Amino acid sequence: MTAETTTAEISLARQANDLARDLARANPRIYWLDLAVTATVTWLSLWIAVTASPAWALTAAMVCVFALYRGISFIHELTHLRTDDVPGFHLAWNLLIGVPWLTPSLLYEGVHILHHAKDRYGTARDPEYHPLAHRPPQELLVFLGIALLAPVGVLIRFGILAPLSFLIPPLRRFVIARTSGMVINPGFARDDFDRARSPAWLAQEIACWLWSWTLVGLVATGRLPLKVVLIAGAIFGIMTFLNQLRTAVAHYWENEGGQMAPLDQFRDTVNVPPPALLPFLWAPVGLRYHALHHLMPRLPYHNLGEAHRRLVQALPQDHVYRSVEQSELFPALGRLWGRMGRR
């Protein structure tokens, strides 16, 4: 790390903090209103998707995909929120979104925060990093396509592996280490076994186990049409595929495992700011400002837009902060594909 790099990264962090320090407090009203509306739209659109005529059902299913995507994306906020920032929000989110869709917050809490560790980012110890830019292009297709298997994966994780792991200690360690995290790095394994014994973790895991068995039982006894589960599963799979598309353009994926200077970590992340409109759908809950989030991870999602505007207004056009911007999803994917093809 050169003295010039060190000065630049300190300067950027200091400028961002000076400009947006007053935006660090979460607004509980915004969180609760957003969650309430998002959950309502998710469940209402799912109901229409499984009961209406084909045309209306297809429209409702598309709405449900984006509503569920927004709802699931709050799992990222949970990781950075302190429990007293928005009291009760963690529990409410798990009840309304996490457990019913077999994606409880235990899959992200304790994992995502490691991605922000300065000595881990981009290395083999980073759970959310894979050097895609140095891989053959076909690996991107695998990276995206595997997300479609998520509905089957969560059923196996909570409906089969969870109860078995409570009976078989060696399996329990494997389940915690290798199947209890929303990760990108295929070599990552959790080692926070104490967390897996906490009441919050166990409550979420057991709730997902019982809910998955309830769904299977209702279908098996004819009380719940199989069609409902298949439609919900398809919506969930498409939603995870959409999230995987976003993930593919959240970073530049240029690092091959070595420890990176903080400024290089910032340069490896992406913002997709206005005037682009579609990121509201494919990068919801502040995810369009991914680079800014890495710069100031404690900023709540509802203030990231204002923080970005302040930085853009205060910093020159050729500032490093502006160098991480992308225009839209598919152009960014195309550039990633091109970089992979040249390796």
Residue 272 has φ and ψ, to the nearest 5°, of: -125, 75
Its pTM stands at: 0.95
CB 192 within 8 A of CB 201: no
CA 97/CA 324 separation, integer angstroms = 32
CB 320 within 8 A of CB 263: yes
What is the sign, positive or negative, of the torsion defined by CA atoms of 265, 269, 274, 280? negative
pLDDT tens column, 44-64: 999 999 999 999 999 999 999
For residues 152-170, one letter each, b for 16 or more C-beta atoms within 10 angstroms of the residue's C-beta and e for the rest, the string is eebbebbbebbbebeeeee
CB 229 within 8 A of CB 52: no
Q: According to DSSP H, which parts of the chain are helical?
A: 3-20, 28-51, 54-80, 89-93, 112-115, 137-145, 150-155, 162-167, 169-178, 199-220, 226-248, 262-267, 279-282, 290-295, 304-314, 329-341
CB 133 within 8 A of CB 343: yes
Question: Taking Cα atoms as reference points, which of 9, 247, 264 lies closest to residue 123?
Answer: 264
The tens place of each residue's pLDDT in the chain, 343 residues long, gives 444 444 555 578 888 999 999 999 999 999 999 999 999 999 999 999 999 999 999 999 999 999 999 999 999 999 999 999 999 999 999 999 999 999 999 999 999 999 999 999 999 999 999 999 999 999 999 999 999 999 999 999 999 999 999 999 999 999 999 999 999 999 999 999 999 999 999 999 999 999 999 999 999 999 999 999 999 999 999 999 999 999 999 999 999 999 999 899 999 999 999 998 899 999 999 999 999 999 999 999 999 999 999 999 999 999 999 999 999 999 999 999 999 977 5
The residue type at 222: G
- Extract the tokens encoding 168: 């078989």
CA 107/CA 103 separation, integer angstroms = 7
Compute CA distances 152 → 46, 99, 216, 297, 302, whole Å. Answer: 19, 15, 13, 32, 33
